[in-house]
Amino acid sequence: MTAQPATPHAAAPGVRIRDLTVVYKTPAGELPAVRGVDLTLAPGTITGVVGESGSGKSTLALSLLNAVQPPGRIAAGSVEIDGLGDVLTLRGEDLRRARGREVGYVFQAAQNSLNPLKTIGKQLLDLGRSHDVEDLRALVRDARELLARMGMDGARVLDSYQHELSGGMRQRVGIMLALVLNAKVVVLDEPTTALDMITQATILRIIREVHEERALTTLVITHDVGAVAEVADDLAVMYGGRVVEHGPVTEVLGDARHPYTRGLIRAIPRLTGDLSLARALPGRPPTLGTLPAQGCVFRERCERRMDICETDDPAAVTHDGRTVACHATGRPLELVGREELV
Amino acid sequence: MTQTVPGRHRAAAIARKVAGHVVRGLVMIWAVATISFVIIREIPGNPVLGQYESLIQKGMSPEQAERATAVLYGFLPTGNLWQQYVGYLGSLLHFDLGRSLSTPGVEVTTLIGHAARWTVLPVLAGTLLSFLLGVTMGVYAAIKRSGRLGDALALSGSLLHGVPVYVIGLLLTAIFATLWPIMPSGGPVDVEFVPGLNPGYIGSLVHHAVLPVVTYTLASYGGWILAMKSNVVAVLGDDFILAAELRGLRRGIVFRYLARNAILPLFTILALSIGMLFGGSIFIEQIFNYPGLGLLLVNSISSRDYALMGGTFLVITVGIVVANIVADLLYTVIDPRVRSGGAA
Amino acid sequence: MITGTGISKTFRQRGGVLGAREVPALRDVDFAVERGGAVSFIGESGSGKTTLGRIIAGLETHDAGEIVIDGVPMSSLSHRRRQPYFRRVQLIHQDPYSALNPTRTIHQALEAPLALRARQTGRPRSWIDSRAQELLSMVGIDPGYVLPRYPHQLSGGMRQRVVIARALTMDPEVLVADEAVSMIDVSLRLGILALLKDLRERLGVGVLFITHDIATARYIGDDGELYVLYRGQVVERGATEKIIADPVHPYTQSLLSAIPVLHGLEQPGAERVVPKEPQGEGPPGGCLFVPRCPFSTERCEQETPVLGRDGGPGQETEQEHACFHPRRRSVIPVGVGE
Amino acid sequence: MTVIVNPAGPPAAPPAETTRATLRRNFWRGVWRVLRRKPSRMAGVVIVALFALMGVAGPLLYPAQLPRDDNALYAPPSLAHPFGTDFEGTDVLALVITGARYVLLTGLATAVITVALGTAIGLFAGFHRGRWDTVLMRLTDMNLAIPGLPLLLVLSTVWKFESPLEMGLVLGVLGWGGIARAVRSQTLSLRERGFIEAARGLGLPTRHIIGRELLPSMAPYIAMNMLIAVTGAVYAQVGLFFLGVLPFESNNWGVMLNLAVFNGGALTTPAALPYLMAPLIAILLLTLGIVLIVDAMDEIFNPRLREE
Amino acid sequence: GTTGTTETARTGGGVFTTIDGSKQINASAPINPFNPVGSVFSGYNGMALAWPKNDPTDPNQFYPAIAGSWTTSPDRSHVDIHLRPDAKWSDGVPVTSEDVRVSIGLAYTQGGTAYALDPKAAGAAADIQVVDPTTVRITQGANRSSTFLANLLSTVVVPAHVFGKLLPADFWQLLKTAQHGQGAVAEKAKSAITGLAEKVIAFDPGHDVSAGPFVLERVNPGAALLTRNPYFYDRQKIAPDKVKILNYTGNEQIWNYLIAGRLDNAPFTSVPTAVMNRIREARGSKVIKGYSPVAVSLAFNQAHKPYDNVHVRRALAYLIDRAQVTRIASPEGGTPAATTSGIHAQAARAWLGSGFDGLEQYRTNPAKADAELKAAGMTKRNGRWAMPDGSPWKVRIHVPASFSDWVAAGKSISSQLADHGVDASVVTAADYTLYLGELAEGKYDLGLWLIGLGPSPYNIFQRLFGQANGWQMFGGRLRHVAPGTEGNWMGGPEKVDADEAGVVDPGELTGKLNYASQEEQKRIVGVLAKVANEQLPVVQLWDYVNTQFVNTSRYTAFPPDDDQALRLSSGVWMQLGMIRKAEKGRA
Ligand SMILES: Nc1ncnc2c1ncn2[C@@H]1O[C@H](COP(=O)(O)OP(=O)(O)OP(=O)(O)O)[C@@H](O)[C@H]1O
Ligand SMILES: Nc1ncnc2c1ncn2[C@@H]1O[C@H](COP(=O)(O)OP(=O)(O)OP(=O)(O)O)[C@@H](O)[C@H]1O
Ligand SMILES: [Mg+2]
Ligand SMILES: [Mg+2]
């Protein structure tokens, strides 16, 4: 098979994650880093996942490629990708072929996702050979075009070693490698962490543009709400291994329904607006060890804690295309919030 | 901020680096030469008397023994210490290490040349063998590190690494030359075969080298396996390996990424240990009576052959200094990161 | 009160295959931090922010310029005599994970500087423990919980508070916070910023805040000053709120344009300044921003602009800037519905 | 405008003292757990403890002059003599036990000197950097490049290494390079860590920084190196005695090896083989014990490995 | 393996494997007998005028070799050497008087007893004359030594057509000047001759020209290979086709070879009993024992207290069980010394006759030892002997580490002494060279030391009352130096009371042995043996036994026990017609 030039209007696949649970083996037993997550990525959209450190974002992303590393293990659930089926049932060569060709992955620390001893070009050829690309020349040409698309001198970059590139350039190379085989589903794990503002803006712009040109289904994972808000169509908010809120980005940001989402938005430093309205979320983010075994994962920091939160894990309820997992949703929350702020 | 270095620039830079290394190496060699000069002039003991009494004990008549040793007097160094030192350094410049006392009339360089052959052969074989074996097993041990086999491999590595070479040598000799004598107990080759590329000679050479080579291999195998294991584990933790897997690269390619990155630092160690080979085989040569540099050194010491002792020691050191330089340069050449001055 | 004039620093990297390489990290930087004042430095990676912070904290030497602490020029003092002055400036490290020794409990971490302080001020040893508790309470954490613990048992936010408490043991005049929140969980960042602001107000310490995120700079103090650094040079300087609202230097505008828009809460600004990919170092003697500036002219390539208030023909800008073509552009996202 | 400072800690906190004690207990429990996970490690501890005991108390178990049995020269192993007897009819086991002290004492002396020198030099170079660093690292390079065993051989012609301490001194002076280099690089990397810089910024004295901040962080590493240095010294020393280039006065393992091989024909006939094997086994056991302990230490101090 | 050709299958053939005891094989060394490690092996490709017999008392007993016969004038003034007329070099050139003369000339460059440049030196040759192509006459100088003949006959003979060019044309003139000239001219000539030494030693002819039964074919670091010399005068006596001379670096290697049955003959090596038993088990293995004129003693440094006191020395002699020491140290290669006479027991009987039995035997006797120690003023406290001044007495017995039998002996002695309350320990020196150096510098109290170097009685007593004990021969004159100076480490008194003989100077008596007649020698030996026995400058521990190992599975007809040829190499045995191919010995 040869690499085909981007065909803008090929149908983007949809991705459906159902009841996904991923556990890590720790001295204290197997603890869930991702628990019962349902998430649907609509074809051709960019879905952003935000959450603080340790909320299970990377684990979720890796699950999409059935690539959770030991001591982690996917304990339950399915990840259906159109045209591929349930990724979690793929094994061996099938799985390998799916990775890279069907699902592109841009690594959390893309700076370090390149082999330091080989030039980018050689790594590109390795990629091509691994996926039985017959016309390697065409592959190189595609890669060069993609790089040029992202504002770089493709020929020079392909001749470079990883250490000869800056962080932003490496990140773009990572994106190129994820796309060059025409993957239609792309997962980007923290694509802009550790980049400075201007570079971050550039990368985000590139993501958006490439996404649209190639008609992809994209998952962008980040802890930076701002970054997601800039590119994503949909936003999923993760907390303690659960997706606590999911919906179109403007709606989720403009009218957050989950107390965590609200707290998070309030905690983001802003360029304009009333400083006094901003405040940090009390308490501290959970880790695997401190996650409560039962009840709502957020209750310790929640301003709207109720008795039921201690015992019952709130189910995710979808309404108007918006999903929220909170016992307090639908109850008059305005009042309680105001009370605290006085 | 990174920059690419133009080729001309790079060549000049490498030349400068080499020059720096060479100067440092020369200083070091001078220091060692001086040390050995000083030590050697301080050595107590009387080689002439020693030779004489040994001959008597072996049954020579006192007259014969006296005649046999008298000549040694003629070769003892004369002049004051400073003159000797200057003369010594002067002759070093001409690669002249003086004449041996215990093999009178023979140039030290000749003796060292003969001995070096016998050291290089088995130790090089042992080094390379252990390197290949250790590196392979190291990868295996790293990949299987949570399994029992990996554990056992690592432990065997630690143990072999920890056990001194003479223990291994002695055990092997006890087993294969004494209890179950299938190997010759010493010497480098049977004299009955005409030296050259004939099967008899080569067979005998190999037969005699088996035990020393195996000893050397076992002794250094542990170090390689441990180093390789920890490197592989470290590289496995590096993101680019996971990234390569997530790009769906073939297992073979991922493995090559892994191995190449893990093995890279080992090449410098390999260069160093090849440098060490000139001195690293003293015990093995002693146990297997292999006429290499190590044995030469030990013998020169017990016969108080000043010139030979100093010369051998110097050659051993020079070997290491050169290896150090080579290792550094090798690293510069094979690691693109260092090559362009990214990390030094 | 601490001021610096003409601070310059060039790193000479030895070794490598390249031989010596010169990296100018700071070029002729002037600054002043008042008691209780807030000064923020922003700039992208490598612009010399950390270097400046370290120089001010006495952890790094500088090549040229003068630092004056409490009216005493540091260059007039011997290395040893400078120490007490520099102790009045405490650096808060970016990474709270590495800023605390993993082998020492929080109690031990605070005890050592407090003991030193007790000796200096002639206080009894018993003061140490009570002061430690006091400081921890001041930074908003429970001393009883934190004191006996090791750093790895604390969250990032708690750790950063401990680091601040430790800096306070020296009763500093100025705290230099180098990206003090960039490694803290998003939900907790504001807490640390608020703490710094609170300390300013309650203890009167000056805060020198280093960041690449202008929004956080705003939270340190709306009355503060902002310095924009580009390649070691201050390109714009003025009141924080003023610069955010009316940036005039294209570089500041680029930085502000890069700030992501929270769609749903904000709308993008009317304009956006996207800098060019840099090609080379730029002409010698010209403006440093030329290689990336979308508005550069011939003059920019030949002359070096200096800080000033020149706002075009007959006009003055409120803030100082180093640009030949200052022009206001409204690049910042604007809030909706709030 | 009000500023809200959020107390971040959970409300209930245990009293300080008990927590501290608990932490310490936790550490030992961790050690215990690591040891228990693989029984071999326990064996390592036991072996090394036994050798230590042997070194301290071994010679006290026997009369100063070991008994000889003139009628049992090179006696084969038996109940009375588990490793047979030597050329004089002395119990080989007794020789190994009484000979341990010299060997281990040298090992210990060497380790202490190696580690003290290496750490001091490495710390100094890494901490002060600059010119001192350059000079000290040149010295270290030199120390590393000079081949140890050949130099020892040459040195043995002028120096008699009469006491274990003297021997330890020489071995230590020859062997500090590796540790110095490693400690230096550790120091350099720790220096970059914020806490050292913070300590400097606080004006804490260098004494404090090195003694309280740097050293404890490197302690496990240094301890491990010390153990390894012990074995290294034991081998070097036994090896020198085995080669017979060192004069000996008291009994030790190396002397036993030498006598067994060059006097007893242990490599020629099985008769003297037990005499050879006894010190060999002692060395192997010591190695094994130390390797096992180092393995355990690796896991105790290395969180990355612990996660496995 | 053996590779006999069909032609020699019945009478000989095969490879004869052995070890040269007196040198290590050194592949870098030249094929030159003047080089101490040269690849010339005595009796195989190296020939002397004659081979010394192993006679306990007469050093002048020889087997003919290149010299078929010799005649000595009654007054020892000259010796006529008659060469074998059929002797030839391996290139077919006959061996002539010129070869002998050149050999002697070369020997002069090396120095030596018979060929000393100083004509006043005892036993030095004064003139060499070629009488005819097969006769050489050598005249002895003024100080005629009783061992002159022996020294002459030991002369190694090298081919003049190979080595001759080493001597400058005017060599013989130069020699004359050196020997008989006066002042500066003579000195210059002397240094010109000694100046040749290095060149002679370093000379490498490249390939071997031998007058012996074999010619060197090849040397490698492990062995030398020699093949039959077709021109050897007694070639029909030589059984093997080839001789393989193995190198050895340690005794244990020889043991291994012997156990494996690989050696047809091995020279004397000390062997532990267990090893000996295994050697004996090897097929065809046989041990030949004979007289070896060397003994081991424990020597005292009388300059150190308390060893200056003869009572202390005697006490130690009474405490040491020599039989036990021998059993531990050298069970196969030694017999416990019957007493201390300075002479190997076998020779002592011959010299002393019944006088030998009159010597004090120093049987182990703690009571006597105690008495002697008390007589020396030593005291015993808490079961330990202390010096007269109350300080602890530590006996440190020094031995070279490389001599395993000596180390074992030292250990055994120290154990025995410790049993009797003497705090004793063994201190090894790293090697023999160091040991001898330090011994000579007087650094040791007690050390092991070879004595009884027969057969010449002069050599025997020279060990006890010679340079090591302060007597120096200088330009033909004897003088005594103070203890601790000029190599006098034994530090004994210059004059001792020897009962009937009165007060004697043992060094002077020893010196006389060199020239004295047989009768006179007997008398002097009697006196000196008694002095040694009473004064105990050393305690004689054991007398070496020449233990040779042979293997009869390939070759037979080795010399029997106590044969006169026993100390000669098997190459000489072959020359003497001893070694034959074994009948069924085709392994
Ligand atoms: N190898 C592992 N062993 C044990 N626990 C792990 C492992 N990897 C991750 N975890 C735990 O799983 C949880 C989720 O981790 P994950 O890496 O998915 O978080 P994340 O949201 O990506 O965080 P970050 O923003 O720091 O990247 C965390 O609590 C983490 O501690
Ligand atoms: N020790 C050093 N040696 C050499 N160059 C240095 C050193 N420290 C900093 N630099 C260089 O000085 C310049 C300024 O660095 P600095 O760390 O001050 O930047 P920064 O603004 O803090 O960047 P960041 O946002 O990435 O922290 C950079 O080019 C950097 O590479
Ligand atoms: Mg992550
Ligand atoms: Mg910085």
Q: In terms of domains, do B36 and B171 share one?
A: no
Residue with tokens 């800096």: C167
Mean pLDDT score of chain B: 80
CB contact under 8 A, A65 and B243: no
Distance in Å, alpha carbon of D13 to nearest chain A alpha carbon: 14
Q: How would you class B28 by CB atoms within 10 Å of its CB: exposed for 0-12, middle for 13-18, buried for 19 or more?
A: buried
Instruction: Give, for D198, the enclosing helix (H) or strand (E).
Output: helix D194-201
**Secondary structure letter of residue D56 according to DSSP:** H
Q: Is the dihedral of CA C252, C257, C263, C269 positive or negative?
A: positive
Q: D37 or A281: whose pLDDT is higher?
A: A281
* Predicted confidence (pLDDT) at residue C283 exceeds the cutoff of 70: yes
Residue A252 touches chain C, beta carbons under 8 Å: yes
Q: In this structure, are residues E179 and E117 in contact, taking their beta carbons and an 8 Å threshold?
A: yes
Q: In terms of domains, do B178 and B150 share one?
A: yes
pLDDT of residue B67: 63
* Predicted confidence (pLDDT) at residue D304 exceeds the cutoff of 70: no
pLDDT of residue A336: 43
Beta bridge partners of E214: E228
Q: In terms of domains, do B140 and B264 share one?
A: yes
Ligand 2: lining residues by beta carbon, under 6 Å: B 1; C 11, 13, 23, 25, 43, 45-51, 212
Q: In terms of domains, do B37 and B130 share one?
A: no
Q: How far apart are CA D158 and CA E438, in angstroms?
A: 12
Q: Is the dihedral of CA C216, C219, C220, C226 positive or negative?
A: positive
| Residue ranges of E strands in C130-231 | 174-178, 206-211, 225-230
Digit-coded pLDDT (tens) for D2-20: 333 443 433 334 444 445 5
* Predicted confidence (pLDDT) at residue E415 exceeds the cutoff of 50: yes
For residue B100, being part of any structural domain is answered with: no
Please give the residue range of the domain that contains residue B292. 108-335
Of C15, C23, C46, the CB nearest to B344: C15
Q: In terms of domains, do B81 and B112 share one?
A: no
For residue B101, being part of any structural domain is answered with: no
Q: In terms of domains, do B166 and B293 share one?
A: yes
CA-CA distances (angstroms) from residue E40 to B15, B263, E44? 52, 52, 8
D21 band by pLDDT with thresholds 50, 70 and 90: low
Q: B32 or C21: whose pLDDT is higher?
A: B32
D34 alpha-carbon distance from chain centroid: 21
CB contact under 8 A, D195 and C57: no
CB contacts, 8 Å: C212 with chain A: 196-197
Q: In terms of domains, do B288 and B159 share one?
A: yes
Q: In terms of domains, do B77 and B147 share one?
A: no
Cα-trace Rg, chain C = 21
Beta bridge partners of A16: A40, A80
Distance in Å, alpha carbon of C132 to nearest chain A alpha carbon: 22
The listed range with the strongest mean pLDDT (A92-106, D1-15, D245-259, E87-101) is E87-101
CB contact under 8 A, B59 and E52: no
Average pLDDT rounded to a whole number, residues C229-255: 91
Interface test with B, best of D149, D170, D253, D308 (most B CBs within 10 A): D149
Instruction: Give, for A141, the enclosing helix (H) or strand (E).
Output: helix A136-149
Q: In terms of domains, do B33 and B167 share one?
A: no
Of B239, B248, B343, the CB nearest to A109: B239
Mean pLDDT score of chain A: 85
Q: How far apart are CA C94 and CA C180, in angstroms?
A: 5
**Token duo for residue B56:** 């008597």
Q: How far apart are CA D179 and CA D171, in angstroms?
A: 14
Q: Can you state the percent helix, strand and coil of chain D, rounding each to 5?
A: 75, 0, 25
Digit-coded pLDDT (tens) for E441-494: 888 999 999 998 878 888 899 899 988 999 987 766 888 988 888 789 999 999
Q: How far apart are CA D183 and CA D123, in angstroms?
A: 6
* Predicted confidence (pLDDT) at residue E1 exceeds the cutoff of 70: no
Q: In terms of domains, do B52 and B145 share one?
A: no
Q: E113 or A237: whose pLDDT is higher?
A: A237
* Predicted confidence (pLDDT) at residue E587 exceeds the cutoff of 50: no
Could you tell me which chains touch chain B, where touching means 3 or more CB pairs under 8 A? A, C, D, E
CB contacts, 8 Å: D6 with chain A: 279-280, 282
A341 band by pLDDT with thresholds 50, 70 and 90: very low
pLDDT of residue B73: 52
Average pLDDT rounded to a whole number, residues B52-80: 64
Q: Give the position, in ligand 1's atom list, of the atom nearest the Cα of A221.
A: 22
pLDDT of residue A54: 86
Q: Which residue of A has its CA nearest to C252?
A: A198
For residue B205, being part of any structural domain is answered with: yes
A56 CA to centre of ligand 3 in angstroms: 7
Digit-coded pLDDT (tens) for E141-170: 877 888 889 889 989 999 999 999 999 999
CB contact under 8 A, C264 and A249: yes
* Predicted confidence (pLDDT) at residue C314 exceeds the cutoff of 50: yes
pLDDT of residue B340: 56
pLDDT of residue B161: 84
E55 CA to centre of ligand 1 in angstroms: 94
3-state SS string over E306-355?
A: CCCCHHHHHHHHHHCCHHHHHHHHCCCCEEECCCCCCCCHHHHHHHHHHH
Q: In terms of domains, do B70 and B191 share one?
A: no
3-state SS string over chain B?
A: CCCCCCHHHHHHHHHHHHHHHHHHHHHHHHHHHHHHHHHHHHCCCCHHHHHHHHHHHCCCCHHHHHHHHHHHHCCCCCCCHHHHHHHHHHHHHCCCCCECCCCCCCEHHHHHHHHHHHHHHHHHHHHHHHHHHHHHHHHHHHHCCCCHHHHHHHHHHHHHHHCCHHHHHHHHHHHHHHHCCCCCCCCCCCCCCCCCCCHHHHHHHHHHHHHHHHHHHHHHHHHHHHHHHHHHHHHHHCHHHHHHHHCCCCHHHHHHHHHHHHHHHHHHHHHHHHHHCCCCCHHHHHHHCCCCHHHHHHHHHHCCCHHHHHHHHHHHHHHHHHHHHHHHHHHHHHCHHHHCCCCC
For residue B264, being part of any structural domain is answered with: yes
pLDDT of residue B3: 42
Q: In this structure, are residues A114 and A162 in contact, taking their beta carbons and an 8 Å threshold?
A: yes
Instruction: Give, for E51, the enclosing helix (H) or strand (E).
Output: strand E50-52
For residue B284, being part of any structural domain is answered with: yes
CB contact under 8 A, B246 and A112: no
A99 CA to centre of ligand 3 in angstroms: 19
Mean pLDDT score of chain D: 79
B70 band by pLDDT with thresholds 50, 70 and 90: low
For residue B130, the domain's CATH number is: 1.10.3720.10
- Which of B68, B93, B118 is the C-terminal boundary of a domain? B93
* Predicted confidence (pLDDT) at residue B60 exceeds the cutoff of 70: no
A17 SS3 class = strand
- Which of B93, B116, B134 is the C-terminal boundary of a domain? B93
Q: How far apart are CA B121 and CA B107, in angstroms?
A: 22
Strand pairing of E580-581 and E555-556?
Answer: antiparallel
C82 band by pLDDT with thresholds 50, 70 and 90: confident
Average pLDDT rounded to a whole number, residues E367-383: 92
Could you tell me which chains touch chain E, where touching means 3 or more CB pairs under 8 A? B, D
Instruction: Give, for E296, the enclosing helix (H) or strand (E).
Output: strand E285-300
B197 CA to centre of ligand 1 in angstroms: 64
| Residue ranges of E strands in E141-183 | 156-157
Check residue B248 and give left, alpha or beta (phi > 0: left; psi -120 to 50: alpha).
left
pLDDT of residue E538: 95
Percentage of chain C lying above the pLDDT 70 cut: 96
How far the first Cα of chain C sits from its last, in Å, is 38
Mean pLDDT score of chain C: 87
Instruction: Provide the edge-to-edge strand list for the sheet that holds A85-86.
Output: A29-41, A15-26, A72-81, A85-86
Least confident of C305-309, E337-341, E372-376: C305-309
Instruction: Give, for A178, the enclosing helix (H) or strand (E).
Output: helix A167-179
* Predicted confidence (pLDDT) at residue A337 exceeds the cutoff of 50: no
C147 CA to centre of ligand 4 in angstroms: 29
* Predicted confidence (pLDDT) at residue D51 exceeds the cutoff of 60: yes
C232 CA to centre of ligand 4 in angstroms: 12
For residue A35, the one-letter residue type is R
pLDDT of residue A109: 64
pLDDT of residue B29: 84
pLDDT of residue C35: 86
Q: How far apart are CA E91 and CA E210, in angstroms?
A: 8
Complex prediction ipTM: 0.78
pLDDT of residue A6: 44
Q: What are phi and psi of A20, to 5 degrees?
A: -80, 130
Total domains in the fold of chain B: 2
pLDDT of residue C131: 92
* Predicted confidence (pLDDT) at residue C242 exceeds the cutoff of 50: yes
Residue with tokens 């610069």: C243
Superfamily of A15-324 according to CATH: P-loop containing nucleotide triphosphate hydrolases (3.40.50.300)
Average pLDDT rounded to a whole number, residues C247-268: 88
Digit-coded pLDDT (tens) for A259-301: 999 999 888 888 888 888 888 888 878 888 888 888 888 888 8
- Which of B27, B59, B93 is the C-terminal boundary of a domain? B93
Domains by residue range for chain D, with CATH = 109-303 (1.10.3720.10)
CB contacts, 8 Å: C15 with chain B: 341, 344
Q: D135 or E98: whose pLDDT is higher?
A: E98
Q: In terms of domains, do B205 and B292 share one?
A: yes
**Token duo for residue B82:** 């400073």
pLDDT of residue D28: 72
Q: Is the dihedral of CA B280, B285, B288, B290 positive or negative?
A: positive
Closest ligand to C-alpha of residue C7 is 2
**Token duo for residue E468:** 């090591």
CB contacts, 8 Å: B118 with chain E: 221
Q: A253 or A167: whose pLDDT is higher?
A: A253
D248 band by pLDDT with thresholds 50, 70 and 90: confident
Compute the half-sphere exposure of residue E429: CA atoms within 13 Å on the CB side of its CA: 27
For residue B330, being part of any structural domain is answered with: yes
Digit-coded pLDDT (tens) for A196-233: 888 888 889 889 998 998 899 999 999 888 888 889 99
CB contacts, 8 Å: A283 with chain D: 8, 10
Domains by residue range for chain C, with CATH = 2-12+23-229 (3.40.50.300), 247-335 (no CATH)
pLDDT of residue E136: 94
Q: In this structure, are residues E204 and E216 in contact, taking their beta carbons and an 8 Å threshold?
A: no
Closest ligand to C-alpha of residue A52 is 1
Ligand 2 test: best mutation among C23, C63, C231, most atoms within 8 Å of CB?
Answer: C23
Number of other residues whose CB lies within 10 A of the CB of residue E494: 17
Digit-coded pLDDT (tens) for B200-242: 888 888 888 899 999 989 988 888 998 898 889 888 888 889 8
Residue with tokens 């019962």: A36
* Predicted confidence (pLDDT) at residue B341 exceeds the cutoff of 70: no
